[in-house]
Every structure is written in structure tokens, then in C-alpha cells.
A and B are shown apart, each in its own frame.
With several copies, the nearest count.
Chain A
Amino acid sequence: MSTNDEISEVRIMKGNEALAEAAFRAGMQAYFGYPITPQSEVIEYLMKEQPKHDCVVLQAESEVAAINMVFGAAGAGARVMISSSSPGISLMMEGISYMTSAELPCLIVNVQRGGPGLGTIQPSQGDYFQATKGGGHGDYRLIVLAPASVQEMADFVFEGFRLSEKYRNPAMILADGALGQMMEKLTLPPAGSLPYVDKPWATTGKPAGKDRRIITSLFIQPEKMEQVNLHLQEKYRQIQAEEVRFEEYGVEDADIVLVAFGLVARICQKTMQLARKKGLRVGILRPITLFPFPSQRIAELAPKLEAIVTVEMNAGQMLEDVRLAVEGRCPVHFKGRMGGMIPSPDEVLEAVEAIAEKRNFELSR
């Protein structure tokens, strides 16, 4: 059953397909990827629709090759995307580190599955550390966007390209298998709405009379390499100052705030509805950018709260960023599911109730 039929202006699509269609509309000029569940629909959709667009779509021989093709194409000035899922993203760590160092923009999509190892193909948020702290070597950061709906799977492609080009830094969409596979209604952003930016640094052939362009991540003199790092750190500080995005629900009067990203934030919305029905004043803070992280907002909220509950599909990774923001100003609890399990609104509610009543609850499971 084709999912790209124009039944009306509004479409129903899988998250992966919405993302792929959005990439075309965002003026993507090249995509390199390698199949992996649960995101293979991205490349499948792109391949099918490619004839309608002026965009390179290439299936590479591996994720390692793909990320290095991205390096080349991005260095040549193209708007480039790559997508994969957890194990495939791990293989890109060297390439990603190179791109941050060479300051190449690109959009990396991780539709996470349960790990570690080959794990399972069910949804997970187990790659938060990898995405936000840098799974590759050296001091670098990605701009990380965490969508929570099919609509955002599409919208954040635009945002990801925009931010990555603005800062000459790779951006990542950190989704999960469920977001990739589920279908929802969405309004596709119009094509052509993301203007191309000037890239005088791109290697498109040395302009006569001007200096040649060099894309490199090699700065053999440590003095120079340190300068590069200071520049990068300065950029990350700027991103932290200017690009934090988050959403809040009911935090104004909340005693307990759930901090959750991506799909889990929506599960928490249901929990919040259920909790409020029971008279528990629960609110939600949903980080949309995971780097930069909304630390400041959390720091503001913390002193007024009875507790924060971080809810994740992992063993507690964003938890560290929440605790770093809170710095002991309120208790921070954690509720998680792992290895492809998705917490249900009910079980999050149970945890919230336990916390409200100062009972113990099972941290995960």
C-alpha cells in the first residue's frame, strides 16, 4: 500500500517517509545511506521519488563509506543528509568527528533501536550520550533535534539543515524506531522554502585569482589544533546561547515535572492527563534540542518543584544533563525502559504516584 498518495493536501505518512519527503522539499542535494531497520524506508522512499528531484541518492557499501561520501559532498558545498540506526551510526563516529573538525554542515538521522550490540530493532533512546556528548573522539558537539511526531520528523529536517549550515556543524535528528515506523497526518512544508546559503569555503574548483579552498580536520601543530578547538567551543557556546528549544505543558502549577524527549514526551502527556485526573499536579518539560540542552530552564524550575522525573527509553542518559542543570536543587528521579521496550503512560503514572507518595518504585521495567 503506497503511503504517498495525495488523498488530500494533508498526508498520512510513516515518520521515515515524511522525513525523506521533507528532505527533498528542503532542497537536499545529496543523500548517502545504507539500509538498516527501522529506517530503511528513508532510502527506499528517496530512491522511489528521486526521479522527480534534482538530488543524488546513493546506496553506499557501508555506513563508513556513506559518512565519508557525505564528507566529500558537504565539503563540495552540497546540502547532504545521511540516515541510519544505532549500530550504523556507531560506525560513523570517526567520520562525524572529522566533519565537526572540518566544520562541514550535514544532517545525520539516527532512528534509534535497542542496544547495545545488535540488540533489537525495537525503538530506543539509548544513543543519547553518543549524540550529545560525542561518541567519536575529541571535543565536539552535534546540534541534536529530537522530534516527537511525524510532523516533526518532517519539520526538523528543515531545521536541521538550517542550523547545520548556519553553524557549519553537523546536526542530528535523534528519533527512534517507533517514530520512524508510525503513521500520522502531517502537513508537508512547501518545497523551496529553505534558501541555499553561500559556501565560499566549499571545494567546487579554485576560483581564478582567489585562494584554493581546503577542507581538512588535520592541524598537526597542537597550537593550531587548540585554536581550532577554542573556535569550536566558542561556536558551541553560541549555539547554547541561541538555539535552545523546548516545550512545556502545565509546569506553571506543577509539583512534579516530567522531563522527556521524543516519543516519550507524548507518552508522558497521556500520563499527565491521567495524573491530573487523579489530582496530581504534573507538568512536562520536553527538550526539543538535546544539544543545546535547556539546562537554564530546568535550573529555573528546579527550586520550585517537589521532584523531577526524567523518563527515557534507556538506562538514564539525559538524566545526567537534567542533574547537571538541577545541581541538587530538587530531587531528580528516573523512570526508564530499555532494550526496545516503550514505557506506557500507566507505568509512568505509577512511578509518578510512587514519587508523590514518597514510595519506592522500580526504576526501570
Chain B
Amino acid sequence: MITTQEIIIAGFGGQGVLSMGQLLVYAAMLENKEISWMPSYGPEMRGGTANCIVIVSDAKISSPILSKFDSALILNQPSMDKFADKVHPGGLLIYERSTIINPPTRTDIEILNIPAVEEAHRLGSKQVANVVLLGAYLERRPVVKPENVVLALSKVLPKHRQHLLPVNENALVRGKELAMEAMAEPSTR
């Protein structure tokens, strides 16, 4: 069992990187874990990069601020440039395929290349690309049970958006599958 996961999620503002992190910590709370969600905020929300540090742990969390991470979920090139080096050796880096021009070259970490945007379009809602990535992440680091992510989603989605629950559920599943596929095809890394 994983006891602590320190994760950076980074991309453009508007790609849902912050809510992806929130979803994760809500789900973790349902499992009675300790959590911390620390956004980098700023005028960056106007087109620049946005990121959040998420910590999920069985133990009390000291510093919510970290400079190295167990895992990174990357949704654009500037974030890749900034965070690819910040993953602990042996760690995990998942990135959204269409937004990355220069994929990372490290060999001491696991790297998954997920076509989340493409998949989201296929699922009929480009909003869920982040959930696809989250699904992929949970496949490799099962810090929370996917059903708790769905439960969390059902709690946080406002009424008029509850109809989006199924597509989010699908996205989560597809993310898992894509992760498995990506692992199976090292060429996509």
C-alpha cells in the first residue's frame, strides 16, 4: 500500500489542473486520508501556467510545499520544462500528448504519454481530459479508489451539472485503459 503520494499537477489555466487536484483530495477525504492541496495561483490564471501540489497520506502532513514530487501530471510544455526534473527517481510522470512538443527524456522515472484531449473529444466532452489523466494516474498509483472519485464528483458537481457524471465516469475508466495501453506500448512513451 502507498502511504504518501506527493503529486504535482500542472498545465494551462483552464485545463482543469486545479480541479483535478481537488477531485483527488475529496476522494482521499472519503477514505479518511490526510490531504493537502496547494495551488500556485496568480495572474497566470490569465493564460499562463497553473499548478497544484497535492499530497495524500495516511499520516499527518507537515509541509504542503515541496520541491520534488513522487508523481507529475503534465498538461503543457512550459510545465513539462519546469517539472520534468522535479520527479523523484523511480517516480511517475504522466503527460497529455497533444500539448507536448518535447517529451521528457529521463529514463529513471516512469513516463506515460496519454492522449487525453483526443480521448475527451471522443467521449464528447473536451472538459474531461483532466479526468482521463486522473484515471491514468490512479491506474499507476491507486492512492484512492476510482469509485470514490466518482462519489466525490457526485458531491461537488452542482445540480445543473450532475448529468455530466456518466461521461466523467467513462473518462476515468478510459484513463485507466489508456494507461495500461501506454505501458504496453513503450513506443508511445
Contacts and interface: CB of A to CB of B under 8 A. Distances in A.
A/B: CB atoms within 8 Å of each other: yes
Interface of A: 1-3, 5, 7-8, 10, 12, 37-38, 120-122, 177-178, 181-185, 220, 263, 266-267, 269-270, 273, 342, 344-347
A7 B152 contact: yes
A10 B39 contact: no
Across chains A and B, which 3 residue pairs bring their CB atoms closest together, nearest first? Answer: A269-B62, A183-B37, A344-B67
B62 A273 contact: yes
Classify chain B's interface size: 20 to 34
A345 B66 contact: yes
A365 to B, nearest CB: 13
B42 interface: yes
B142 interface: no
Interface string B25-40: 1100110001111111
A183 B65 contact: no
Interface in B120-158: 152, 155-156, 158
A337 to B, nearest CB: 11
Contacts of B34: 185
B150 to A, nearest CB: 13
A184 B67 contact: no
Contact of A12 (B19, B29, B66): B29
B117 to A, nearest CB: 20
A267 B26 contact: no
A185 B61 CA distance: 11
B129 to A, nearest CB: 16
Contacts of B38: 178, 181-183
Contacts of B30: 7-8
Contact of A266 (B23, B41, B62): B62
B22 interface: yes
28 contacts: A1-B19, A1-B23, A1-B156, A5-B155, A7-B30, A7-B155, A10-B29, A12-B22, A12-B25, A37-B42, A122-B40, A181-B39, A181-B41, A182-B36, A182-B38, A182-B64, A183-B25, A183-B35, A184-B37, A184-B64, A185-B34, A185-B35, A220-B42, A344-B63, A344-B67, A345-B62, A345-B63, A346-B67
B63 A266 contact: yes
Contacts of A3: 22
Interface string B49-70: 0000000000001111111100
Given A184-B64, A269-B63, A177 B36 contact: no
A7 B66 contact: no
B66 A344 contact: yes
Contacts of A342: 65
B47 interface: no
